[in-house]
Amino acid sequence: MSYNSGMFPAQLVLAPMARYTHVAFRQLMAELGGTNLLYTEMLNARILCNTNPAHDIFCQKGNFDFPTAAQIVGGEPDTIATAIKRLDTMEFDAIDLNMSCPNGAIVRYGWGAALQKNTEKALTIVSHARNATTLPLFIKLRSWPDHNMEPLISFCLKLQKIGVDGITLHPREMKDGFKRPAGWQDIKILKDALTISVVGNGDVQNIESALKLLESTGCDGIMIGRAALVRPWLFWEITNQRKWQGSPMDVLERMATLMDFHFTDKKYALKIFKAFLSWFLRNWLFHRYLYGKIVNQQSISEITSYLSQHLPNEPILKNIPIVAKL
């Protein structure tokens, strides 16, 4: 596995995904190549203020030299600022504030996408964050209710004035979750209204959809999440504009090796590895059957041993629909 920057005319970004974009998966993505920026999973600002980030598996960068952004979620300006300062020793390349997560628990705290309803508080959070770091500062947002662009643009212009370096827009409303098609037109409208970078996120599953998003919106970058869990080589394909010819089984085994190396808590590693496989196994026709066979296995080595014997006999799919649940 090796880096390959390729010639795709926009930045390609691995989305932050809770439980998935941990240090082992980020290292896998770096080795496969094609990405320009990797994200940590969503980091709780309160927890960051009370732990040593260097010993936190969610924060660790791994032993690879690749641009990485730390994404933070929270609702108290001072807590966000303190969390950012605690991350200074980790040598991240950028900080991102999550104002897009629609998860029920996050929204109940008034964090994530709930900050749409309290933009003054959100702007105070961003101002404190901007004062806490000299690193590039990004904000991840969702579309406003009813895809109303006026309040979204107004908010983003204020973010731009504060000194935010870029916006990532997931063009679905908070109530949509991942159910409805992403409204890419929102990305174009926002891009036309701002001078800072705008990254588009949502429904990119292959080379063709990446090109279509870029051509239809003029966005500066493309963020990909769930599709990268199914095909970690997708960034390489988009960057190089051709199909990847490697072995999916080699990728799976490398992921298992990285999980074993980075995670000291083997029970937790097993749980996280199974979560990854709930997506990755969609490359095969009988993925539900395969997942049922490994879900009760008691170690990562048992899982890889079973799959190494059975996956070569399963036909890999050419076009895999990405849906919210297995």
Q: How confident is the model at residue 58 (pLDDT cuts 50, 70, 90)?
A: confident
Question: How much is the average pLDDT of 48-66?
Answer: 81
Could you tell me which residues are beta bridge partners of residue 96? 71, 138
- Please determine, for residue 213, whether its predicted confidence score (pLDDT) is greater than 50: yes
- Supply the pLDDT for residue 313: 61
Q: From the CB of residue 219, how many other CB atoms can be counted at a distance below 10 Å?
A: 24
Which tokens in the block code for residue 89? 């020793």
Q: How confident is the model at residue 117 (pLDDT cuts 50, 70, 90)?
A: very high
The per-residue pLDDT for range 263-297, each reduced to its tens digit, is 999 999 999 999 999 999 998 888 898 999 999 99
Could you tell me which residues are beta bridge partners of residue 139? 97, 167
Q: How confident is the model at residue 317 (pLDDT cuts 50, 70, 90)?
A: low
89 vs 279: which has the higher pLDDT: 279
Which tokens in the block code for residue 200? 């588009």
- Supply the pLDDT for residue 21: 94
- Supply the pLDDT for residue 4: 39
The per-residue pLDDT for range 200-209, each reduced to its tens digit, is 999 999 999 9
The fraction of the chain above a pLDDT of 90, given in percent, is 75
Question: How much is the average pLDDT of 23-43?
Answer: 94
Q: Please report, for the chain, the start and end positions of each structural domain, with discontinuous segments joined by +.
A: 11-240, 248-313
User: Judging by beta carbons within 10 Å of its beta carbon (0-12, 13-18, 19+), is residue 319 exposed, middle or buried?
Assistant: exposed
Average pLDDT, the chain: 90
89 vs 219: which has the higher pLDDT: 219
Q: How confident is the model at residue 27 (pLDDT cuts 50, 70, 90)?
A: very high
Is the CATH code 1.20.120.1630 the one for domain 11-240?
Answer: no
- Supply the pLDDT for residue 319: 56
Q: From the CB of residue 136, how many other CB atoms can be counted at a distance below 10 Å?
A: 17
Question: How much is the average pLDDT of 35-44?
Answer: 94
Question: How much is the average pLDDT of 90-96?
Answer: 93
